[in-house]
Amino acid sequence: MLEHMNQSLRHVTELPGFAAAPTRFLFFTGKGGVGKTSLSTATAIALADRGLKVLLVSTDAASNLDEMLGVPLSNHPVPVAGVPGLAMLNIDPDDAAEAYRQRVLAQMEADASDAERQTVREQLSGACTTEIAAFDEFAALLAGEGDGTAGYDHVVFDTAPTGHTLRLLSLPKAWTGFLAGNDRGASCLGPHSGLKMQEARFNAALRALGDPALTTVVLVTRPDPRPMQEAARTADELRQLGLGNQRLAINGVFRASRSDDPVARAIEDLGRQAMDTLPDALAGLPRDEIPLRAFDTVGLPALRALFAAAPEAAPDTAPTAPETATHLPAEPLHRLADELAAARHGLIMVMGKGGVGKTTIAAALAVGLVQRGHSVHLTTTDPAAHVADTLNGSLPGLKVGRIDPKAETDAYIAKIMASRGKDLDEQGRALLLEDLQSPCTEEVAVFHAFSRVVNEARTAYVVLDTAPTGHSLLLMDATGAYHRQMTRQYEGSASARHIITPLMRLQDPDTTKVLIVTLPEVTPVSQAAALQDDLRRASIEPWAWVINKSIAATGTTDPLLLARLQGEHRQAARIASGLACRTFVLPWLPEPPVGVEALGRLV
């Protein structure tokens, strides 16, 4: 059907404003799950179809561009078959980190000893190095450097979810400021010269990001208040960073085709209300609306049809919607709360792609455990931190916290200054404080806070709402790096038997239960499966999956929703056929479950 649609509709495709007159650099950013990858990829294809040379770049550690385009991910530009002029590049954090290490080591004096080189390599083995190395690749593209990037008319960036992207885009300013004020010593990234050699690149990246003739930021959202609020905050923060050339893209706008379908009417009404009450930071931006489609945006025909002006035809055979959610191979959420409550303590880590509803699931389970007589600490590592908004109230027995990167960094710096700086003279303390101003310090501080949360779960319930997948994997990298450092340090000693690192607690199913949340759509399920593979490589076995926002129980008769329901059943069967040991489901709700009472009803 899509191939036919592609041929019949290409001549009536109307490009949205961000693709009709694009600047050289296009950044697609927004809350996870809003469709950044779909829109950025469809844009890159549309520009290439116009005869332009385009480079599509993913900065997301959990990218699924390979699945969407059928092209293996690579840290070098790879041509996309079927789209002349389009190449794809993925900034792989591990590959970028190794290349960065080699560049820094190459700056060392020729007579440096093997021990000195090994020391530097160890300094460059943490998650912070991985982040700055990925940024270094990103900065090279903005500066017009890198492997064959100069010949492209446009570079389209498919970014990680908002919190991670804001940190990425703020790094040029953070590192240029750090380098300008630090002409001595070494940061946690190794020799200071290793950073100094990148300073010109960072400055060029800053200039490109702030030039409205070169760079446009496309803020992607859904017609839903929460991603719109996050897009508004992002718009303000990006303006403060000097990125003022912004556009708004509202993806997945639904129009009901049957007036007698209450589900379809409810979905349309919620979207219309959200668009009628845009936050001030978004209301004045140039705006594009992309309709909700009946198909998953995977493969060239679907991606080319995404911007089609004409609506799709109804599916050839409309499926029969099941009457209850039990027809899906999954159990209701209250059963999950019952099983978790039987353990009496432990860490419950709620993980998944951005936008799948992790915060709602985490908050509902925390409330459910309190309802069952337990005290619970609900906290989050997500820079967006929506836990308090979702609860919208208090409950005896429920403590709500947040691993706030800024607060944790300030506390960590104060602690280091009070300990390591206690016996230093004034010049030594000044040098130590200067070194601690490195943006890397934040990663270390957040890891220490995470370790405290893991330890707390030995005797109490802790429900952790994690950041979107890519950001969480960086935290897992830090946890693994610390584990390796401790085991090397105490290898062969009597103390080795008594060391229990945070990673070991995450690997212990009696202490930690990892829940993977997904939507019943092909891309979120594929990314959840990739996350599960990453966790298993660290010997962390997910305990259960949760399918959120299922429309199988709604009884809808709208043709477009019925077409999407076919895909939902395929994904539910895919999960049940081997991806998950146990699966739970939460149906789509006409009103978002906000507030302690509404969350309690879910469990």
Catalytic status, residue 583: no
30, 31, 32, 36: which is the annotated catalytic residue? 36
Map 108-163 to HEC letters.
CCCCCCHHHHHHHHHHCCCHHHHHHHHHHHHHHHHCCCCCCCCCCCEEEEECCCHH
SS3 540: coil
Q: Beta strand 461-465 with 398-400: parallel, antiparallel or unpaired?
A: unpaired
Residue among 269, 456, 482 nearest 378 (CA) = 456
Q: Which of 299-308, 463-472, 494-503 has the lowest mean pLDDT?
A: 494-503
Question: Which residue in 139, 152, 160 sits closest to 40, CA to CA?
Answer: 160
**DSSP element (H, E) containing 264:** helix 262-276
The C-alpha atoms of residue 325 and residue 565 are separated, in whole angstroms, by 12
| The predicted structure's pLDDT at residue 591 | 77
Catalytic residue among 38, 159, 360, 381, which? 38
Question: Within 13 Å and on the Cβ side, how many CA atoms surround 135?
Answer: 29
Which one of the listed residues 31, 41, 43, 60 is annotated catalytic?
60
Closest CA to 565 of 212, 328, 280: 328
Q: 416 φ, ψ to 5°?
A: -65, -40
Q: Which of 13, 37, 43, 511 is catalytic?
A: 37
Whether residue 144 lies in the annotated active site: no
Could you write out the three-class secondary structure of 444-475?
Answer: HHHHHHHHHHHHHCCCCEEEEECCCHHHHHHH
Rounded distance between C-alpha atoms, residue 584 and residue 329, angstroms:
8
314 to 1, 194, 564: CA distances (angstroms): 11, 58, 11
Neighbour count for residue 225 (Cβ, 10 Å): 17
Give the pLDDT confidence score for residue 174 in this predicted structure.
57
Which pLDDT score, from 0 to 100, does residue 337 have?
93
Output 46 or 443, whichever has higher pLDDT.
Answer: 46
pLDDT grade for 389, boundaries at 50, 70 and 90: confident
10 Å CB burial of residue 91 (0-12, 13-18, 19+) is buried
Among this protein's residues, is 33 annotated catalytic? yes
For 162-207, write each residue's pLDDT tens digit: 555 655 566 555 555 555 555 444 444 443 444 555 667 777 777 8
Q: Give dist(CA 527, CA 65) in Å, integer.
A: 11
Which residues, other chains included, contact 440 with Cβ-Cβ below 8 Å and sequence gap of 6+?
126, 128, 129, 131, 132, 187, 188, 189
User: Is pLDDT of 569 > 80?
Assistant: yes
pLDDT reported for residue 192 = 42
The answer to whether residue 196 is catalytic is: no
- Distances in Å between the Cα of 96 and the Cα atoms of 99, 199, 285, 326, 334 are 5, 17, 35, 46, 43
pLDDT at 199: 66
Identify how many contiguous H helices and E strands the chain contains and give both numbers: 25, 18
Torsion sign across C-alpha atoms 98, 104, 107, 111: negative
H or E element, residue 441: helix 440-456
Closest residue by Cα to residue 232 from 45, 397, 57, 29:
29
Catalytic residue among 40, 130, 159, 523: 523
Q: Is the pLDDT of residue 489 over 60?
A: no
pLDDT band at residue 392 under the 50/70/90 scheme: confident
pLDDT band at 509 (very low <50, low <70, confident <90, very high): confident
Q: What is the mean pLDDT of the chain?
A: 79
pLDDT at 340: 93
Instruction: Quickly state the pLDDT bin for 70 (edges 50, 70, 90).
Output: confident
Residue identified by tokens 């960094």 is: 409
Residue 248 phi, psi (nearest 5): -110, 130
Pairing of strands 583-587, 512-518: unpaired
pLDDT band of 7, cuts 50, 70, 90:
very low
Between CA 403 and CA 324 the distance in angstroms is: 39
359 is known as an active-site residue: no
SS3 375: coil
- What's the CA gap between 219 and 235, in Å, rounded? 7
| CA distance readout (Å), 38 to 28, 32, 34, 79, 165 | 10, 12, 9, 18, 17
Token pair 């997301």 is found at 60
Q: CA angle, 100 as apex, 96 and 106 as ends, to 5°?
A: 150
Lowest-confidence pick of 42-51, 53-62, 323-332: 323-332
| Measured torsion, CA atoms of residues 480, 445, 383, 239, in degrees rounded to the nearest 10 | -120
Residue tagged active-site, from 30, 32, 35, 252: 35
Q: What pLDDT was estimated at residue 592?
A: 78
Catalytic, out of 32, 33, 85, 346: 33
Q: Give yes or no for a contact between 53 and 156, defined as CB atoms under 8 angstroms apart.
A: no
Per DSSP, 59 falls in state -
Q: What span, in angstroms and rounded, lies between the C-alpha atoms of 217 and 158? A: 11
Band of the pLDDT at 124, cuts 50, 70, 90?
low
Run of H or E residues at 416: helix 405-419
